[in-house]
Chain A
Amino acid sequence: MIPNKGSEASLIKKITSSIMIFILCFFMLFALTGCLGAREINDLEIVIGMGVDKDEDTGNILLTAQVVKKDTAGRTSGDASGGGDGKAFWNVSSTGDSIFDAVRQVTHKTGNRLFISHNQAVIFGNDIAQEGLQEYIDFFLRAHEMRPTALILVAEDRASDILDAKPETEKFPAMNIAKLVDTYGFTSHFYEVNMKDFASCLMSPTTAPLVPLVSIVKEKDCMDIYVSGMVAFKKGKMIGKLNHDEVRGLLWVLGKVKSGVLIVPSPDEQGKAVLEIVRVKSKVTPEIKDGSIVMHIKIKEESSLSEQTTAENLATDKAFEKIQEATAEVIRQEIMAAIDKSRELNADIFGFGEMLHKKYSSKWKTLKDNWDEIYPTIELDIDVETKIIKTDLLKKPVSQSEEEK
């Protein structure tokens, strides 16, 4: 089937025109790119931290978003001369009836939409926390851009002040907070709580969620962020504060102590032995005996001797035994402090309720309803086993040997 010469020209014309139409359609595709969720980085305001406060005048929500200033963010602090005050971030705030409303209201100031995928931390002001987080947390869990791993914190006073801090080494206060909370393992004086953890605790009928408490410490001209402990929530409302030791008492029970420093008197009572926690294992077994609830807490701790302030040689079996006993006592005291606090607040920060629920699911139905009355009556059986496993680089302290005297 070869056409004769007359129709060849028209056929070629037809083919070229169809190819042209195809090419035209192909390039028109590029004009449609905006429809499919494309957004240039230039059009985003990258949010790395958010603060939620109550507006003092109107009672509305005051949202503070820490936004990366793109023109100065990448530069080192030395040559930020061109960028105004040289700050790498911009704390933009707006008010609104709800959080989402406030997030959209911000665009009046930024001109661009807030991009909250990289939000590191959400800080709630003290007044909001006392009022209850329940109604404010919904947006942060529902918004598809928001990460459930973003940290949640409560400010000692106003959240916007925390975001205004001037940390020395970090360019962004929000990043600094994330770093502070992330490295809690060195002391185990508080622990990391993110949106997802907090939400799952909120859903439990008995467990009281804890959230790290941050405050500002002013020293000369720098304003540092400081994590001063944790606050406990009950039914979404802030009810009290736990100090560092109380939080570690809680973590001993939960087996979440990563590391930390324990100070015990040395056996000769001349100074101190300082231990670093190496490994912790804990086991909590609930038991209902004759109508009363007993929690058997068994803790196994291993530590290393990291510092000593006496001249006595502590690296002996005898000394070790004494130190281990003293350590167990310190740990027991910390646990008791946490338990006393939780009884005082009547908040199940340990999650004992959930443990009972798992083991005694049938009896739980009756316990659940008057948990508040039952909780302070729970008995505890604490068993702490400690062991020093190493003395680091020194065996004997740096002192004159006794034999040579």
Chain B
Amino acid sequence: MFRYIFKKIGYLSLINKHMLQNTKPGKNNNKPISPDLEKNLEVIKGILHSSDLAVHEFNFGHDRRFKGALIFIDNLADKKEIHKNILQPLMYDALLLPMDMDFTQIDTIWKSLISMTDNVKVTLLGDLLDSLLAGAAILLIDGSKEALAIKAGKRDARSIEEPGTEAVVRGPREGFIENVNVNIALLRRKIKDTDLCVEKYVIGEKSKTDVYIVYLRSVANPKLIEEIRTRLNRIKIEAILESGYIEQFIEDSPYSVFPTVSNSEKPDKVAAKILEGRAAILVDGTPFVLVVPMVFIESFQSVEDYYARPFFASAIRIIRFLSYIISTLGPAIYVALTVFHQELIPTQLLISIAEGRERVPFPAILEAFLMLFAFDLLREAGVRLPKPVGQTVGIVGALVLGEASVQAGLISPIMVIVVSATAIASFAVPAQTDSGTILRYIYLALAGIAGGFGVIMGLLATLMHLASLRSFGTPYLWPVSPLNLSGIKDVFIRMPLWTMSKRPKAISRNSSDSCNQDPGLMPAPFKKGSNDSK
């Protein structure tokens, strides 16, 4: 039934694609640049009807015999830079050069006058426009078939702050920002290795967004990198506005509620994953960096697990597993128990539940749906509203939905406890909050229809689905299934760092000696007479 509907939906998207192709404008920007400056300017002005297009025409050189024009987008370019490093050298410094120098050769100007880096020579009108829109200043010289694109863009960047979604108690407080160049720099500062590879892609016909793959050449599986390249190259889309766009076009199972591409705002987290052999995909304009492949267990690991000592880290990880179970199954188990399996509830508890439910006019399943709906509503409203108003929503929600609804006899007090426990638990595993929310409703519906049997069936279906998932070739349930003993050290508990000397086998390049540290690093006090210390 689902497959049938998915097929139909797939068909729909096919039609949309077809329509999109029909409406696409013809590309006529592959013309070469003409040697005639006037003509070029006319063409460019003809294509860009914008009032923020700045065209500065000037004569330069001895006797001012050369004609040139500098084109840039007013709002993107840094005018001070342009003035100081492009116009000033051309107008004045050119006079210091020999009289017979031929300034119709772009190369001559580039090599002897322009005091800026990051310049590109362009010969095609299309490339010229692309550079122009990316913030470059274009230098056109009359009589030259080439133009020089000089990167003189300015870019407002937010300062590096602690990421809002991934706060830590112990660990670096820096987070990625919207500027991808800064983000790459943040990663480079963590991994100062010649192996760190940065590959650039430009995706989006209109947005022309910079997308970078960052990985360690000696550690990452070459097949993985090749796969990412193929999937990125497939994307033909108008605009990439956030890394979520990329995620949805490259993920393995688009119809799964479980994410198969992880994301993070923290450079230390991404660096750690790159060091394991994963590849990061950085997208300009968003602080969220994608990392592939993703395994399910990753959702339960936090960077802090590795900064804290193993005992506390392991305890917290077990709590995270429990909280995921509570957040997905809490209301379902409550409904299954109170509606189908009252004999499983201890007698005293059953009496308390019965007393609480005495005045409630709804069936337990409806009660649970109402409360969960109210919770999700409050959460959504709290996120969207400005902060001061958001607090009001919280107070109103707590008072009205918690206190008043119980006193009015609409909801039983135990249901409030169950739903609040669920709500709190759902935030303990941020990576699976989305999937957990969907599953919670599905399990609840199953519990309402068939009780414990329904919940078990739902769990089985989920398990089968999880076991069938792959993320860029890695089984989603690795290292639990298929079982990997060295990988399982970091699943339910976090073993001490000095025991985890091997990189994850399923992810990194397949060599048996893939170690990230010397074995036998267990700390021990210095012993007198021992020669090991030498």
What is the interface of chain A, defined by CB distance below 8 A to chain B?
Answer: 2-3, 8, 11-12, 15, 18-19, 22, 29-30, 32-33, 36-42, 44, 46, 48, 68, 70-75, 115, 117-118, 120, 145, 147, 175
Contacts and interface: CB of A to CB of B under 8 A. Distances in A.
Contacts of B357: 40-42, 70
Contacts of A72: 355
Interface in B448-491: 448-451
Nearest to B15: A8
Interface in B329-381: 338-340, 342-343, 347, 350-358, 360, 363-365
B58 interface: no
A19 B18 CA distance: 22
B399 interface: no
B48 to A, nearest CB: 34
B521 interface: no
21 contacts: A2-B18, A8-B15, A18-B5, A19-B8, A22-B5, A29-B449, A33-B365, A36-B449, A39-B339, A41-B357, A41-B364, A42-B354, A42-B357, A70-B351, A72-B355, A115-B342, A117-B342, A118-B343, A118-B347, A118-B350, A145-B343
A109 B282 CA distance: 72
Contact of B354 (A3, A22, A46, A117): A46
A30 B358 CA distance: 23
Task: List the 3 shortest-distance A-B pairs measured between CB atoms, nearest first.
Answer: A74-B355, A117-B343, A70-B358
A15 B13 CA distance: 12
Interface string B1-42: 100110011011011001000000000000000000000000
B411 interface: no
Contacts of B450: 36
A1 to B, nearest CB: 9
Given A15-B8, A15-B11, A30 B449 contact: yes
A6 to B, nearest CB: 12
B12 A30 contact: no
Contact of B340 (A11, A38, A68): A38
Contacts of A44: 342, 354
A23 to B, nearest CB: 10
B224 interface: no
Interface centre among A33, A71, A75 (most CB of B within 10 A): A33
B413 to A, nearest CB: 10
Contact of A40 (B5, B8, B343, B364): B364
B339 A11 contact: no
Scoring B14, B355, B360, B445 by chain A CB atoms within 10 A of each residue's CB, the highest score goes to: B355
A70 B14 CA distance: 59
Nearest to A4: B18
Contacts of A40: 338-339, 357, 363-364
Nearest to B345: A118
A234 B340 CA distance: 40
Contacts of A147: 343
Given A15-B11, A15-B12, A22-B1, A37 B355 contact: no
Contacts of A175: 347
A40 B342 CA distance: 9
A144 to B, nearest CB: 10
A38 B449 CA distance: 8
A3 B350 CA distance: 61
A115 B347 CA distance: 12
Contacts of A46: 342, 347, 350-351, 354
A32 B11 CA distance: 33
A38 B338 CA distance: 9
B359 to A, nearest CB: 8
Contacts of A11: 11, 15
A84 to B, nearest CB: 15
Contact of A41 (B9, B342, B347, B451): B342
Interface of B: 1, 4-5, 8-9, 11-12, 14-15, 18, 338-340, 342-343, 347, 350-358, 360, 363-365, 445, 448-451
Nearest to B18: A2
Pick the most buried of B354, B356, B357: most chain A CB atoms within 10 A of its CB.
B354
A36 B454 CA distance: 11
Given A15-B12, A41-B338, A41-B342, A73 B354 contact: yes
A48 B18 contact: no
Given A33-B448, A38-B340, A120 B355 contact: no
A325 to B, nearest CB: 47
Given A38-B339, A46-B351, A48-B347, A12 B12 contact: yes
Nearest to A48: B347
Contact of A73 (B9, B15, B351): B351
B446 to A, nearest CB: 10
Nearest to B363: A40
Contacts of A39: 339-340, 342
A41 B353 contact: yes
Given A11-B11, A117-B343, A145-B343, A73 B451 contact: no
A177 to B, nearest CB: 13
Q: Which of A3, A18, A117, A120 has the most CB of B within 10 A?
A: A117
Contacts of A41: 338-339, 342, 350, 353-354, 357, 364
B20 to A, nearest CB: 12
Given A22-B1, A41-B364, A2 B15 contact: yes
A68 B342 CA distance: 14
Given A19-B5, A117-B343, A42 B360 contact: yes
Contact of B358 (A3, A42, A48): A42
Given A73-B355, A74-B354, 17 more contacts: A2-B18, A18-B8, A22-B5, A32-B449, A33-B363, A33-B448, A40-B338, A40-B364, A42-B358, A42-B360, A46-B347, A68-B351, A70-B351, A71-B358, A73-B351, A145-B343, A175-B347
Nearest to B17: A2
A3 B16 CA distance: 12
Nearest to B12: A15
B460 to A, nearest CB: 18
A24 to B, nearest CB: 13
B449 A37 contact: no
Nearest to A44: B342
Nearest to A2: B18
Which of A32, A70, A71 has the most B CB atoms < 10 Å from its CB?
A70
B441 to A, nearest CB: 12
A48 B14 CA distance: 63
Contacts of B342: 39, 41, 44, 46, 115, 117-118
A147 B357 CA distance: 25
A67 to B, nearest CB: 11
Nearest to A39: B339
B351 A74 contact: yes
A30 B339 CA distance: 14
Contacts of B339: 38-41
B418 to A, nearest CB: 14
Contacts of B358: 42, 70-71
Most chain B CB within 10 A, of A2, A37, A40, A71, is at A40
A75 B352 CA distance: 9
Given A38-B340, A44-B342, A117-B342, A68 B14 contact: no
Nearest to A23: B5
A42 B353 CA distance: 10
